[in-house]
């Protein structure tokens, strides 16, 4: 890998062992969304040890570091998330999670450690900077309503001109940086449907309104929204992830509860699917005599990278890493609350390859054996440093 054409690149590489130590500490001590206490404290302590001004409890458990250069200029922001997932860690490694039922299964420990490495390097170079760098360490990315919106509401983007974020990706080879302009990650909504029928004896179905039968039919109808109601050129997903009803073999259940998610890459399609769900439920109420409640949570919006900032990252990667290091990011129906930042400021969200030939680095995100090539943290840090050089040097 070529060296970056900026004078502080070597310091990032010199800090690699320390970055790995931070990552493994965080991996061993995960905290799930909205329950982060020690993690933000750890981050704040590290930033202060670098001589960086720190603000805590931003939008809840968020932490912000501020590095001001000696000369005026632009203000740019980098974001890293730090929450874990409610998953049991099944890896057999020295840094395996020590918290029962919680693990970093999406690389957020790597995001945080990479940005801490960048913070340490740039804290020593602040006198060379023309402008201000805002380091956003965000909680609760994994669980809507998420942490981004609350941090924005708390003023984290005040005065910011551009914002960037990165994500380690085990579906991308190590050394690659993947990005695309425009819509690249989906919106995410969650819903809960409670069907109220009429229970009764299993031998007398004619006297009941069977919530299990109706719920099963409802699942089939919901699956046809995408296949028969949405334009086939528009990517979308309706998934039922949970179906609970009944508690005995010979009792017809009077209640069924279904929970699911909706994903889309187009805001109009997102609205259409919600309207279709409500239309279908109204039809069941009329035809089958049920009543229902629908709790519908509009989660993260579509993540849309801004064209000029995307092109900037593409140019920086090709010129300073290598032309082969740049990859076109596939559109995915996974979601990211970084989308909120991009609704307020120009910027872009990129993915960094984190898999190598070792099968241990090739598990999907949110898998109980998820892990990644730790060299990827250097690549993520390099992109942040390149952006810093472009805007603030």
In the structure encoding, which two tokens stand for residue 126, read together?
A: 């602040």
Q: What are the C-alpha distances in Å from 219 to residues 222, 242, 258?
A: 5, 11, 9
Q: What is the largest CA-CA distance in the chain?
A: 82
Q: Which residues line the annotated binding site for Mn(2+)? A: 106, 108, 142, 167, 366
First CA to last CA across the chain, in angstroms?
Answer: 23
Residue 51 backbone zone (phi > 0: left; psi -120 to 50: alpha; other: beta): left
In the structure encoding, which two tokens stand for residue 123, read together?
A: 């804290």
Place of tokens 């302009």: 181
Place of tokens 């730790």: 374
In the structure encoding, which two tokens stand for residue 18, read together?
A: 């320390």
Q: What are the C-alpha distances in Å from 198 to residues 149, 214, 256, 285?
A: 41, 11, 11, 13
Q: What are the C-alpha distances in Å from 382 to residues 38, 116, 166, 242, 346?
A: 27, 12, 11, 41, 20
Q: How far apart are CA 56 and CA 93, in angstroms?
A: 32
Question: Are the C-beta atoms of residues 271 and 234 closer than 8 Å to each other?
Answer: no
Q: Which residues line the annotated binding site? A: 106, 108, 142, 167, 366
Question: Are the C-beta atoms of residues 54 and 65 closer than 8 Å to each other?
Answer: yes
141 is catalytic: yes
Active-site position among 31, 81, 141, 336: 141
Active-site position among 83, 109, 304, 371: 83
83 is catalytic: yes
Q: How far apart are CA 13 and CA 165, in angstroms?
A: 20
Name the β-bridge partners of 190. 261, 297
Question: Are the C-beta atoms of residues 160 and 68 closer than 8 Å to each other?
Answer: no
In the structure encoding, which two tokens stand for residue 200, read together?
A: 């009764």
Q: What are the C-alpha distances in Å from 148 to residues 143, 155, 299?
A: 11, 11, 12
DSSP-derived secondary structure for 42-110: HHHHHHHHTT-EEEEEETTTEEEEEEE-SEEEEEEEEEEE--BBS------STT---STT-B--SSHHH
Task: Just list the catalytic residues.
Answer: 83, 141
């Amino acid at each position: 890998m070529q060296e970056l054409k900026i004078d502080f690149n070597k310091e990032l590489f010199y800090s690699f062992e320390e970055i790995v130590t931070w990552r493994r500490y965080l991996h061993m001590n995960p905290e799930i969304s909205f329950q982060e206490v020690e993690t933000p404290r750890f981050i704040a302590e590290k930033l202060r040890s670098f001589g960086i001004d720190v603000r805590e409890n931003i939008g809840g458990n968020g932490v912000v570091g501020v590095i001001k250069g000696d000369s005026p200029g632009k203000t740019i922001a980098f974001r890293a998330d730090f929450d874990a997932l409610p998953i049991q860690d099944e890896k057999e490694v020295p840094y395996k999670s020590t918290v029962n039922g919680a693990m970093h299964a999406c690389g957020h420990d790597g995001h945080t450690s990479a940005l801490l490495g960048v913070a340490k390097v740039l804290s020593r170079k602040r006198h060379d900077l023309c402008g201000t760098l805002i380091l956003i360490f965000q909680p609760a990315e994994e669980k809507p309503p998420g942490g981004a919106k609350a941090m924005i509401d708390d003023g984290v983007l005040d005065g910011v001109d551009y914002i960037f974020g990165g994500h380690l990706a085990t579906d991308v080879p190590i050394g690659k940086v993947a990005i695309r302009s425009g819509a690249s990650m989906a919106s995410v909504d969650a819903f809960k449907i409670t069907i109220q029928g009429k229970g009764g004896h299993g031998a007398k179905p004619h006297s009941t309104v069977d919530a299990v039968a109706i719920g099963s039919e409802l699942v089939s109808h919901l699956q046809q929204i995408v296949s028969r109601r949405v334009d086939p050129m528009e990517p979308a997903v309706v998934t039922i992830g949970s179906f609970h009803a009944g508690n005995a073999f010979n009792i017809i259940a009077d209640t069924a509860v279904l929970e699911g998610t909706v994903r889309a890459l187009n805001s109009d399609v997102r609205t259409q699917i919600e309207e279709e769900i409500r239309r279908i439920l109204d039809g069941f109420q009329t035809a089958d005599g049920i009543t229902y409640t629908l709790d519908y949570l509009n989660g993260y919006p579509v993540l849309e990278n801004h064209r000029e900032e995307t092109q900037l990252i593409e140019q920086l990667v090709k010129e300073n890493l290598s032309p082969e290091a740049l990859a076109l990011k596939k559109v995915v129906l996974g979601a990211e609350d970084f989308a909120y930042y991009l609704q307020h400021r120009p910027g872009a969200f990129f993915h960094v390859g984190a898999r190598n030939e070792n099968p241990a680095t090739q598990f999907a995100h949110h898998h109980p054996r998820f892990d990644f090539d730790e060299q990827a943290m250097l690549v993520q840090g390099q992109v942040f440093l390149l952006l810093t050089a472009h805007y603030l040097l």
